[in-house]
Amino acid sequence: MSVFFYYLHGIITANNRAFMNYNFKHLILGAIAATTILVGCTDPTPDGNDPNGKVKIPKNIVNDGKTFDVNGQIFSIPSPVQTAMLIKDSGADFDETYLNPKDNADGYSTMFSKAMNLGVYGADLGYCTIYENNNASLAYLTSVRTLASEVGVENAFNESLIERFSANSTNQDSMLVFISEAYQSADNYLKTNDKSDAAGLILAGGWVEALHFSCRVASDGNEALKARIGEQKSTLKSLIGLLNSLESTGDDFEEFVYAMEDLYGAFDQVSSSYKYVEPQTYADKKLTIFNSTNDVEISDDILAEIASQVSELRDLITQ
Amino acid sequence: MKLTVTTIFAAVLMILGSNVNAQVTCDSVSGIASSYLNEGTENSIFISDGQVYRAFLSDDESAEFNTTFFGGSTYRIAVSAGKRKDYVIFEIRDEQDIVLFTNADQANAPYWDFKVTSTMECKIHTQLDPNKKASGCVIMLIGFEKQM
């Protein structure tokens, strides 16, 4: 609407004296444009289209580039919250030394470091919440808000979220849902506002932090997490493809991508063997069980190499 | 000259107007998909992976989403392209390109749960059911299950 008024104001200002004699064709075109804008700004029906579901919107209206589309494929990166859940399920204890100190949030000056560490702190927040360390969760939520504001997604992490989070501080499930919804809202906002680069960096930061947790726990002798680390090989490949598709520039970004590519060199030594087994579907439960097997092998030497590189990679982001 | 400038300006405005509408449409579709993420659950919740997968599809176009499902986890995939629940067809293939599931066999169900025995790489293809919708914004969400 504001565009239309700006346009109308321009016509009136430029043609103030002769406005009444303004070319009729111009007014017709202006009317068409106004109608288009007004229609475009009307609240949509719940499905946003006509009741028959038959719509024809030009392909270029919604830009496919707003997704992480690399060579026609869109990549999904596992949630750091899920990784934290898997770590807890493996029997590992909470360890605050794994986390990026919350006060570091004030020291990040570039958009690269802010977006990456928004992802890092999201993983830290998820880790604290999974382990029901409520004081730490609230403290890390403050750090998340600081960076969210600077990345331009403060609406996803607003005062209401803090209030709901605090009011449900004894309900871990609600807190996890709030965190995930906030990050989902931020992701959606960034992708629909041509800021996919920031969305991609947040994802990458969260993934590195979650992998850092896994490496620290596995290095302490937790065998269950070794295979979990090896299973990240494909995700790393996807992330590198995603990063290379972004328009981000700068020495810090390039250094990070090179380090991720080096890390893939270490992951490339992880072997796996997949075997298809027919799935079972239970329609009444809306459930399908995937029975295929996939054995991942990762030696202690490779694990040590990966853990060392992840540590350096994380330092690159957080320091 | 004035007519040309005005014509171009009007065309730009028309595109902007349509874009606003399409964006609002995608946002409303995203809300519908979110509502499927915890529909019908009792003793567990599905926590979103924090990402919104979107694609604008028309005719026989399809979008391909690559993902890793971790062994020992249960996931829910929720899809939407509007008010009706059966607009979207999605199928999951494994790394050997074998179809593991398609919701076309389940009346285009808008969500389905998947219990994963062993970690696996999958490709999720989504497309509009050509008999129900010609084009539009398709949203897919992935949630992982946490027992309450």
CATH of the domain at B67: 2.60.120.380
Please name the member of A41, A48, A281 whose beta carbon is closest to the beta carbon of B101.
Answer: A281
Pair A73, A48 in one domain:
no
Name which residue leads in pLDDT, A50 or B145: B145
Amino acid at residue number A223: E
Pair A6, A151 in one domain:
no
Domain of B57?
3-147
**pLDDT > 50? residue A35:** no
CA distance B69 to A279: 14
Amino acid at residue number B110: P
Whether A257 contacts A240, CB under 8 Å:
yes
ipTM score of complex: 0.87
Question: Which segment of A287-291, B17-21, B44-48 scores lowest on mean pLDDT?
Answer: B17-21
**pLDDT > 50? residue B18:** no
Which residues contact residue B41 at a Cβ distance below 8 angstroms, ignoring those fewer than 6 apart?
none
Out of A21-30, A213-222, B58-67, B84-93, the most confident range is: B84-93
Domain boundary residue, one of A56, A77, A98: A56
CA distance B56 to B26: 9
Pair A52, A68 in one domain:
no
**pLDDT > 80? residue A11:** no
Pair A23, A116 in one domain:
no
Query: Which A residues in the span 41-80 are in contact with B, Cβ-Cβ below 8 Å?
Result: 41-49, 53-59, 61-64, 66-67, 72-79
pLDDT confidence of B69, banded at 50, 70, 90? Answer: very high
Domain of A14?
2-56
Name which residue leads in pLDDT, B76 or A193: B76
Look at chain A and report how many structural domains it folds into: 2
Pair A187, A131 in one domain:
yes
Search chain A and give the residue with CA nearest B38. Answer: A177
Whether A239 contacts A70, CB under 8 Å:
no
**pLDDT > 50? residue A24:** no
Pair A36, A154 in one domain:
no
Domain boundary residue, one of A17, A37, A56: A56
High-pLDDT (> 70) share of chain A, %: 77
pLDDT confidence of B5, banded at 50, 70, 90? Answer: low
Pair A19, A168 in one domain:
no
Helices (H), A56-109: 80-89
CA A148-A306-A237 angle, to 5 degrees, is 65
The whole-number pLDDT of residue B38 equals 86
pLDDT confidence of B1, banded at 50, 70, 90? Answer: low
Distances (CA, A) of B103 to B77, B95, B112, B133: 11, 19, 8, 16
* 3-state class (DSSP) for residue A58: coil
Q: What's the farthest any 2 CA atoms get from each other in chain B?
A: 68
How many interchain CB pairs under 8 A, A with B? Answer: 269
Please name the member of A44, A53, A281 whose beta carbon is closest to the beta carbon of B84.
Answer: A53
Q: Is A228 on the interface with B (CB under 8 A)?
A: yes
Question: Which segment of A36-45, A151-160, A239-248, A281-290 scores lowest on mean pLDDT?
Answer: A36-45
- d(CA A318, nearest CA chain B) in Å: 22
Pair A273, A294 in one domain:
yes
Q: Chain B contacts of A180, Cβ < 8 Å?
A: 47-50
pLDDT confidence of A72, banded at 50, 70, 90? Answer: low
Name which residue leads in pLDDT, A205 or A161: A205
CA distance A47 to B141: 17
Please name the member of A7, A26, A46 whose beta carbon is closest to the beta carbon of B83.
Answer: A46
pTM above 0.80, yes or no: no
* 3-state class (DSSP) for residue A229: helix
Pair A122, A258 in one domain:
yes
What single-letter DSSP state applies at residue B119? -
Look at chain B and report how many structural domains it folds into: 1
Q: Is A285 on the interface with B (CB under 8 A)?
A: yes
Whether A142 contacts A148, CB under 8 Å:
no
Pair A36, A89 in one domain:
no
